[in-house]
């Protein structure tokens, strides 16, 4: 199940509690940095100008082959943006990963609003192993407030989630279907439970809860305006929270932007945590770049003062 895989990545094993590391088991790659949502808790809101480009497919092919040769076993065809903004590129990337370099596991997270049945089926045909929906609003009112877009997309997303289940079952595809949600308090949580029971859980194999991430402290002001209490950093899912230091994001999973920059942070929307440029550097050289090694050393000492991670709300 998906939670088993997530917990395996957010737990730092002894073999990865070093400053210089072997290739990570998992890497997330930003197929598209664009998103049609403007979620109040998301680091994408911190970008002064929203990018209009997507990842270059030739760059994607080169770096993922390097990753596979180095021992990477899982690729997420997303990072911060919504990959269904460019469904053709998304499908091409999945197809390349599964059929050209035989990546064992390819996964995707989406807000579902742009994941129309035809695109979902194309991803499944290409060999997508896991498709997870992010469902973080209980009704139209909360959706417009938190996601910052028209309530019409609230219903579109739910319709697409149901359609994904039907497409998979009718086509006999192997893709696992999952969903995650931010856990709220009180009445809002009761509304979430009702929505999930009626519109989401019947159409996924597994659902799990997340804390409200702080997204590297960039969205804290917006979170306070919305009345939510963020958790420190990215500590994983609620039932398997991890200590903020050392942060697993810098040790067990790679994160690559659409521009080809390797980041040390899973919430890096503004290139503050860039450790290497994969346009000019190999993946493993960037993964163990001197700056990255020094940052990991600070994390292992549990003292990130004077590093780029000092600004994170976790500390």
Q: What confidence tier does 36 reach under pLDDT thresholds 50, 70, 90? A: confident
pLDDT (0 to 100) of residue 239: 72
DSSP type of residue 120: H
What is the rounded average pLDDT of the residues 199-218?
78
Q: Where are the beta strands (DSSP E) in the chain?
A: 26-29, 74-76, 105-110, 130-134, 176-182, 206-210, 253-256, 261-263, 274-277
Strand duo 206-210 + 26-29: pairing: unpaired
Q: Please give the Cα distance from 314 to 244 (Å, whole number).
A: 6
Q: pLDDT per residue over 269-308, tens digit each? A: 777 899 999 999 999 999 999 999 999 999 999 999 999 8
pLDDT (0 to 100) of residue 145: 86
For the ranges 44-53, 127-136, 196-205, the lowest mean pLDDT is seen at 44-53
What is the rounded average pLDDT of the residues 232-244?
71
Question: Which of residues 213 and 114 earns the better pLDDT score?
Answer: 114
Q: pLDDT per residue over 123-151, tens digit each? A: 999 999 999 999 999 999 999 988 888 99
Residue 3 pLDDT greater than 60, yes or no: yes
What is the rounded average pLDDT of the residues 173-178?
98
pLDDT (0 to 100) of residue 219: 40
């Amino acid at each position: 199940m998906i939670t088993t895989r997530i917990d395996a990545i957010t737990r730092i094993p002894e073999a990865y509690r070093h400053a210089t590391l072997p290739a990570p088991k998992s890497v997330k790659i930003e197929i598209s940095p664009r998103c049609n949502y403007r979620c109040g808790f998301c680091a994408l809101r911190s970008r002064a100008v929203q990018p209009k480009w997507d990842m270059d497919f030739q760059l994607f092919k080169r770096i993922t082959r390097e990753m596979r040769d180095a021992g990477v076993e899982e690729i997420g065809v997303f990072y911060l943006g919504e990959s269904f903004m460019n469904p053709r590129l998304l499908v091409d990337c999945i197809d390349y990963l599964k059929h050209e370099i035989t990546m064992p596991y390819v996964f995707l997270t989406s807000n579902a609003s742009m994941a129309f049945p035809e695109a979902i089926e194309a991803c499944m045909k290409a060999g997508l192993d896991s498709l997870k929906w992010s469902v973080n609003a209980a009704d139209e009112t909360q959706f417009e407030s938190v996601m910052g877009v028209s309530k019409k997309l609230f219903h579109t997303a739910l319709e697409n989630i149901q359609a994904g289940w039907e497409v998979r079952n009718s086509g006999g595809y192997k893709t696992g279907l999952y969903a995650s949600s931010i856990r709220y308090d009180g009445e809002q949580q009761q509304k979430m439970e009702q929505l999930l029971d009626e519109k989401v859980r019947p159409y996924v194999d597994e659902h799990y809860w997340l804390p409200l991430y702080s997204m590297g402290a960039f969205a804290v002001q917006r979170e306070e305006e919305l009345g939510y209490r963020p958790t420190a950093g990215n500590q994983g899912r609620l039932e398997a929270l991890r200590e903020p230091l050392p942060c697993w994001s810098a040790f067990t999973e790679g994160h690559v932007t659409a521009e080809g920059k390797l980041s040390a942070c899973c919430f890096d929307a503004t290139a503050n945590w860039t450790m290497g440029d994969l346009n000019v550097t190999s993946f493993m050289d960037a993964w163990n770049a001197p700056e990255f090694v020094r940052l990991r050393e600070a994390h292992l000492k549990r003292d990130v003062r004077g590093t780029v991670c000092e600004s994170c709300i976790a500390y």
